[in-house]
Amino acid sequence: MKIAELFARRPKQIIKGSRVLVCGLDFSLRELFEADLSVYSRHYQSVDAAFFSSISDLLGALERAYDIVHFFCGLSPGGIIADSEGATIIGSEFIAKCCEKDVKLLWVASGNKGDDYIKGFKVNENRLNLVMTLDRRGSRFSEFLEKLLSRVSRGETMPIAWAALAPQARGPWEQDLPSCIFSAGRGSVKLLS
Dihedral-angle region of residue 86 (phi above 0 means left; psi in -120 to 50 means alpha; beta otherwise): left
Confidence at residue 11, expressed as pLDDT on a 0 to 100 scale: 64
Packing angle, helices 139-152 and 30-43, rounded to 10: 20
**Per-residue confidence in pLDDT tens, the chain, 193 aa:** 444 444 455 567 999 999 999 999 988 999 999 999 999 999 999 999 999 999 999 999 999 999 999 999 999 999 999 999 999 999 999 999 999 999 999 999 999 999 999 999 998 887 999 999 999 999 999 999 999 999 999 999 999 999 999 987 776 666 789 999 999 999 999 999 9
pLDDT for the residue 129: 97
State residue 176's pLDDT score.
83
Q: Which domains does the chain have, with CATH numbers?
A: 12-191 (3.40.50.1460)
pLDDT of residue 6: 44
- Mind listing the pLDDT tens digit for each residue in 11-49? 679 999 999 999 999 889 999 999 999 999 999 999 999
Burial class (CB in 10 A: 0-12, 13-18, 19+), 109: buried
pLDDT at 173: 63
Give me the percent of the chain exceeding a pLDDT of 70. 92
